[in-house]
Structure 1
Amino acid sequence: MRIGILGGTFDPIHFGHIRPALEVQQQLALDEVWLMPNHIPPHKSGTHVSTDDRLAMAQLVCDAFPPLKLCAIEALRESPSYTVTTLQALKQQYPQHEFYFLMGMDSFLGLQSWYHWQGIFELCHLVVCQRPGSILSDDHPMHDVLAKRESALMAPFETESIEASIATNTGKIFRVSVTEQPFSSTQVRTDLEQGLAIEDALPVCIQLYIKQHQLYAPKARNSPQKS
């Protein structure tokens, strides 16, 4: 099976995560895309809700969108979630699968700062989600990496063409254009804390979960003092 992997804190998960994952799944004819919530992100100080809540929300999204599946390998780990370590564990656990690690162009531009980043290419393919306007300059250090490893999609939605473009089980880079989404977890949290509407950003199942569990609760506002 060809398995996409989308990692993140998902704090909370929103359409900015979901729609690109589904677009990549279709364009690359992946069998599934696994949503992989982090437990201890190495580049962040923490999350705003518990790991259990973030796992529960990711599972609700998977229930609502069948091509998506939950992968809890990082959430259940007590150490920082380094991508290369996670991929090594997944390859050991699922040697029959071919993995495609999804990331945005912004993350790809900073890939050289990741822990043992070159080892990632020995474990999976990379899928770089390119949004409108995202550009990799010729003088950027990652330009040569992309030029060496990029594999073009000859005909999206045609499985035979995609299979023909994959010469090995790991190490290729696929650039996939995805529809730009005007959502971020930071903005969603801010809107929720301010009691603003977030219907466009979150599936109904996530809106209900957040409400039922009182997550990202609106901050108390000071009442104006009477003279």
Structure 2
Amino acid sequence: MRIGILGGTFDPIHYGHISPAMEVKQALALDKILLMPNHIPPHKQQPNITIAQRLKMVDDVCQQLDGFVLCDIEAKRNTPSYTVITLEKLKSLYPEDELFFIMGMDSFLQLQSWYEWQHLFDFAHVVVCQRPGWQLDMSHPMQQILTARSQSALEEPARYRQQNSGLIFPVTVTPQDISSTRIREQLAKGEIPTDLLMPVTLDYIQNQRLYLP
């Protein structure tokens, strides 16, 4: 089985998370996508609502989308959500499957600041979502890593068929100018961002009176 993994604070989860994940799922013929809320994100400020509330919103979304599944492995951890530790655990849970860790190009550019980042490739492939026509500057330190490990989603050479981790799959996705910060600001002003959130998410936020000033 080919399993995509998308982590995030999901504070709240919105189309900027969902739409690229759907495009990656189709581009790489993934069997399912694990949506994985962080409990204690090491690279961001702490979320504005509880982990239980964020788990509920993500689970509601997963119930609406075919092939999307809530993963609470990081939510249960009371230490920072270091990705390499998570992937090692997931690989032990899915030893026969291919794992595809999904990130944006902005995160990939900062990957060298992540805890034991080199070992991410021991447990999974990395999927880098990029804007149409975007190219990494040849002088950037991550360019060598991208070149050495890059694999087209349209090709399946022998090395890919024999390798179930360690490759990078750049996937061009539709640009999404959406941020959780912007959504929280709108909600605090009493604005209803119906075009940014799935209806089930908006219903939960309104029922729970979340993100009010």
Match of 2:177 among 175, 182, 188: 182
Partner of 1:171: 166
**Displacement, 1:182?**
1.9
User: Judging changes above 3 Å, is the alpha-carbon distance between structure 1 residues 198 and 124 closer, same or farther for their aligned structure 2 residues?
Assistant: same
**Displacement, 1:154?**
2.5
Take 1:162 and 1:32, find their aligned partners in 2: how far apart are those partners? 23
Q: What SS does structure 2 have at the residue aligned with 1:174?
A: strand
Q: Mean Cα displacement is larger for which, 41-50 or 82-91?
A: 41-50
Partner of 1:54: 54
Tell me the TM-score normalized by structure 1: 0.90
Deviation per residue, 1:7-29 (Å, 9 max, x gap): 00000000000000000000100
Partner of 2:189: 194
Take 1:8 and 1:135, find their aligned partners in 2: how far apart are those partners? 24
The one-letter amino acid of 1:205's match is V
Partner of 1:215: 210
Q: What SS does structure 1 have at the residue aligned with 2:57?
A: helix
Take 2:206 and 2:89, find their aligned partners in 1: how far apart are those partners? 35
Partner of 1:44: 44
Partner of 2:27: 27
Instruction: Note if contact 1:4-1:33 (Cα within 8 Å) is conserved in structure 2.
Output: yes
Deviation per residue, 1:122-165 (Å, 9 max, x gap): 1100000011354310010000001100011226xxxxx58984
Partner of 1:7: 7
The one-letter amino acid of 2:104's match is G
Q: What SS does structure 2 have at the residue aligned with 1:141?
A: coil
The one-letter amino acid of 1:96's match is E
**Displacement, 1:181?**
1.1
Deviation per residue, 1:176-224 (Å, 9 max, x gap): 000111211010001110111200000000000001111012x3xxxxx
Q: Which structure has the bigger radius of gyration?
A: 1
Take 2:164 and 2:177, find their aligned partners in 1: how far apart are those partners? 34
Instruction: Note if contact 1:153-1:162 (Cα within 8 Å) is conserved in structure 2.
Output: no
Take 1:43 and 1:164, find their aligned partners in 2: how far apart are those partners? 33
Partner of 1:154: 154
Partner of 1:92: 92
The residue correspondences of 1:95-134 to structure 2 (distance < 5 A) are 95-132=95-132, 134=134
Deviation per residue, 1:68-115 (Å, 9 max, x gap): 110000011111000000011111122122100000011101100100
Mark the runs of 5 or more structure 2 residues left unpaired by the alignment. none
RMSD (CA atoms):
1.5
**Displacement, 1:167?**
3.7
User: Judging changes above 3 Å, is the alpha-carbon distance between structure 1 residues 163 and 210 closer, same or farther for their aligned structure 2 residues?
Assistant: farther
Q: Mean Cα displacement is larger for which, 10-19 or 40-49?
A: 40-49
Take 2:158 and 2:12, find their aligned partners in 1: how far apart are those partners? 34
Partner of 1:71: 71
Q: Mean Cα displacement is larger for which, 195-204 or 124-133?
A: 124-133
Aligned pairs, number: 213
User: Judging changes above 3 Å, is the alpha-carbon distance between structure 1 residues 162 and 183 closer, same or farther for their aligned structure 2 residues?
Assistant: farther
The one-letter amino acid of 1:213's match is Q
Take 2:12 and 2:160, find their aligned partners in 1: how far apart are those partners? 35
**Displacement, 1:43?**
1.5
User: Judging changes above 3 Å, is the alpha-carbon distance between structure 1 residues 170 and 34 closer, same or farther for their aligned structure 2 residues?
Assistant: same
